[in-house]
Structure formats: structure tokens, C-alpha cells
Amino acid sequence: MAETATPRPKTPKRLTRKEKQAETRQRLLNAAERVFLRRGLQGSSVEEIAAEAGFTRGAFYSNFKSKDELFVELLQDRVYRQYAEMAEQAQEQPGTPRDRLRWGAERLRDVQKREEGSWLFRLWLECLTQAARDEEFRELAASFWSGNRTLVAGQVKATFKEVGRKPPLPPDQIATAMIALDVGLAVQHLVDPEEVPLGAYVPLFDLLFGSLVDTEEP
Amino acid sequence: MAETATPRPKTPKRLTRKEKQAETRQRLLNAAERVFLRRGLQGSSVEEIAAEAGFTRGAFYSNFKSKDELFVELLQDRVYRQYAEMAEQAQEQPGTPRDRLRWGAERLRDVQKREEGSWLFRLWLECLTQAARDEEFRELAASFWSGNRTLVAGQVKATFKEVGRKPPLPPDQIATAMIALDVGLAVQHLVDPEEVPLGAYVPLFDLLFGSLVDTEEP
DNA sequence: ACTCTCGGATACAGGTCTGTATTACGATAC
DNA sequence: GTATCGTAATACAGACCTGTATCCGAGAGT
């Protein structure tokens, strides 16, 4: 019904071919995520990924150059989407600096709580391990965290300005510490969810960073 | 010539056979460490490990049941040795609680600085990634960190008692945070040594945890 | 309708890995 | 000196994986 209503005679459905391929690509990416999670990056075979998506290797190789390439694309897609979203919302949070800090901690906690976020974290771990040996992956990880750090550092700086205090350390070092706490808690929670519950996120962020941004000195 | 000089007729050199095998084992472990570091856990083959040690697969299989078993033994051996040493020394550190905190941060930093420690950390990462998918590895990692956490928590508790203050959060949560900071900094440093230098360790630990244990409130 | 194109399937060549089963050789014991 | 024992070497069977090269069939253009 939509076709006849289209006024343009030139491109009624011209994308069908491309669209179909794009869908294949997406199915491969989704399948790859599942396979990577259960086999690891090195442990996954192109064959299994293709099969999981309902294709053969032929489809894979006509869409991607290699397994690594697919992995990088997958990770960038997923991670940037999630973080961009969070960064956006952070800007417009109301309340005192400390409130905003707690809000941020809650969000980081929720990311781990949601299955989707936990998957993502595991993929990151995969990337990290590869990064320990492989320059290309190291740069990927570095550029991602560098961007993140800059972002957080910006917020830290702005916050100190807002409360009219001088940061006790360079903002990017404080940002590094916040990221470190996030990563470190996530790692420990992954390994031992009982002993390191996600509930630890908020009180710890509040305890360690809260006093830095309080308007009042105790 | 040495034989005739031996006074004991019963056990002149009875261990030679066993000792030799023990050496083979050690050589395999050392070789495995090197191979794991350049290929990863999954990426390493039994063949390569054996070859690196100057043996064939035959030697491997008559000493270990599987690659995973060897890995676990390797990691436990290396890690426990290092941490045990540090924990021991920590007990007998002089100075104020804050001094001891800084000393601890310096030690954690130095572990990453020394090549040996950085290797160890990479092996841990390998284990961690495996732990994301494999129950057995998860338990290994969990038990290790659990022990560590208990240890640190004990120190935290004692320190608060010493300065006569009540911990703002349960000691084991604070311990979790300290471990998290260590892990998180190490990870970031691994990926991007320029942006996250090891020099950040001491000031950050001091900033975040120092005020908790000061005898004087500001 | 008639080709042309290209996404995906299939077949193939070559390589690597694991684990076991058998063997050889050197050290111990008698 | 000879028999024994056990460590490590070797041979082998089976599985799996990667890339490439080739083929087929369904949209797209005319």
C-alpha cells in the first residue's frame, strides 16, 4: 500500500537489495555476540558464528574481512551506544553535585545489573585480554577509555567550579579513579556476586568521592 | 666417584629420579607462562608450551592432565607467592595509618612497574576472561580475591580501631573499594600507560582513603 | 521477458590441535 | 651385568578451522 502512494518514481524500493544485506550483517553481529560470550574471542570460530545466524561461512566472508574486524565493529557499536546515552542524560541531572554523583553511581550499577550491560562488560573483558597482547586492540581500548576519561574529567572540573573549590588533584586523575572504581567493582562482582553485590556501588562512590564535592566542609 | 664416598647405603641419591621430573615440571611451567603471555590461554597449544620448554607433548601429558590444569597451578603458584610476601611485610610497617596506606599504594604500584608483576597481572586478566564463561575459573578467581579481601578488611578494621574511629562503611566494603581501585588503575595503565601513569597510584589512594584514617579531622 | 550482478552456498586444499597408544632409553635395583 | 621401571619421544587417528575459488539463483535494469 505504501508503494503506490510514493510519489517518487525513481526510488520506490531500490534499497531492498542493500537492506537485505544489511539485515544479514546485523544477524551476523547479533549471533557473534552470543557466540563470543560463550566461547570467547579466540574460542569462537567463523563457522559457529555464521551457523548461529543461520548462514554458512560464505555469508560471513562476503560481509566481513575477519573475525577480529567483526569483533571491533560489534564492540564499538554496542559500547558507544550505551555510553553516549548515559553521558547525554548526565548533563541534565538536577540536584546538588553529590546528588548527581549518586545518580551516576546508580547508573553504573544498573548497567551491570541489566543483563545486556553485563554482556557488554564481558565483551570488554575479552577485548582487554586481547589488548594485553595485541597493539590494535590496545589502541581500540585506549581510545575508548580516553574519550570516557575526558568526558568524566570535564564533569569533575565543572563541578569543582560550581562549588567554588579547587580540585585536590587534576580532574583527569580523579576521573581515572572513578573509572577504576567502576571497573574494579564490576570485575569483582562478576567473579563473586555474593561477596561483592551491586549494592556496594552507591555507598562507595558516595563515601570516596562525595566529600570532594560537598559545598560544606564538615 | 661420588658414589663410593656416600656413607649411607640406603638413600644415596634416591630422589634423583623425582627431582629430575620436578625440574621438567618447572621448566614446563616457566615455558607455559611465556607462551600464555604471547598467545593467551585459549590461543596457546600444548605443543607450543612443550616445545618452548624443550620437550615434546609426551613430556607434557606425563606431567599434567590438561592445559587448564597447568594454568591453574601456574597462577596459584605465582600469585600466592607474591601476595603472601606483601601481606607479611605489611604487618610490620611503622608510621601512622596514613603512612602505611601510602606504603601499600607504593607496593601495589611497584608490582605493576616490575615486569614480573605486570606479567602476572596479564595472566590474571586471562583467568578473569575465562571466568566470565567458566565456573571452575570463576571459583578460582573468587577464592583468591575473597582471601585477599578478608586480609585487607582485617587491616582496615584494625586501623580504625587504632585511630579510635568508627568505619563509615563495613571494613570489607572498604577493602573491596581498595582492591577495585588497584584493579581499575592497573587495567587502565595496561591499555594506556601514557594517560594513566603508575604515578597516579599513591596520590589517588591517599586522596580517597587517606582522610578516612586520619587521626585528626580537618 | 532477458540479461546482468552480486549475495550467499558449496567444495576444496592446507593447516593445526588434541589425546592416546606404543616405543625407546636411561636410571635404578638386584 | 641384567632385569625392571618410568619418563619422555614418536606415531597415529580424528576433529576442527581458515580462506579461497567456484557456483547458483533471485533481484535489478532495460
Q: Three-state SS across chain A? A: CHHHHCCCCCCCCCCHHHHHHHHHHHHHHHHHHHHHHHHCCCCCCHHHHHHHCCCCHHHHHCCCCCHHHHHHHHHHHHHHHHHHHHHHHHHCCCCCHHHHHHHHHHHHHHHHHCHHHHHHHHHHHHHHHHHCCCHHHHHHHHHHHHHHHHHHHHHHHHHHHHHCCCCCCCHHHHHHHHHHHHHHHHHHHHHCCCCCCHHHHHHHHHHHHHHHHCCCCC
Label residue B87 by pLDDT band (50, 70, 90): confident
Contact yes or no for B181 and A182 at CB 8 A: no
pLDDT exceeds cutoff 90 at B109: yes
Contact residues, B window 57-96, toward A, CB-based 8 Å cutoff: none
Give the pLDDT of residue B5.
Answer: 37
pLDDT of residue B6 exceeding 90, the answer is no
Q: Is the pLDDT of residue B8 over 50?
A: no
- Judged by DSSP in three states, B140 sits in helix
CB–CB contact A177 B181 (8 Å): yes
Q: What is the pLDDT of residue B11?
A: 38
Q: B165, A105 in Cβ contact below 8 A? A: no
Which positions on strand D lie below 7 Å from a protein C-beta?
Answer: 6-11, 16-22, 27-29
Question: Would the pLDDT of A199 be above 90?
Answer: yes
Over residues A44-62, mean pLDDT = 96
Q: Which residues of B touch A43 (CB under 8 A)?
A: 42
Please, are residues A42 and A48 in contact by the beta-carbon 8 Å criterion? no
Q: What is the pLDDT of residue B22?
A: 84
Contacts of A133 in chain B (CB under 8 A): 37-40, 122
Question: Considering chain B, what is the average pLDDT of its residues?
Answer: 89
Residue type, B170: P
Q: Identify the sign of the CA torsion A174, A178, A183, A189.
A: positive
* Whether the predicted pLDDT of A93 surpasses 50: yes
Which residues in chain B have Cβ-Cβ distances shorter than 8 Å to A218? 217-218
A53: nt with nearest C1' to CA: C8
Q: What is the pTM of this model?
A: 0.90
How many C-beta atoms surround the C-beta of residue A3 within 10 A? Answer: 7
Q: Which percentage of chain B shows pLDDT scores above 90?
A: 76
CB contact under 8 A, A129 and B169: no
Q: How far apart are CA A8 and CA B28, in angstroms?
A: 71
Taking 50 as the threshold, does the pLDDT of residue A3 lie above it?
no
pLDDT tens, position by position, A133-160: 999 899 999 998 999 999 999 999 999 9
Residue A5's pLDDT is 37
Band of pLDDT at residue B2, cut at 50, 70 and 90: very low
Which 10-29 residues of chain B approach strand D with CB closer than 7 Å?
17, 20-21, 24
> Does residue A10 surpass a pLDDT of 90?
no
Closest-CA distance, B212 to chain A, in angstroms, reads 9
Task: Give the rounded percent of residues in chain B with a pLDDT score beyond 70.
Answer: 91
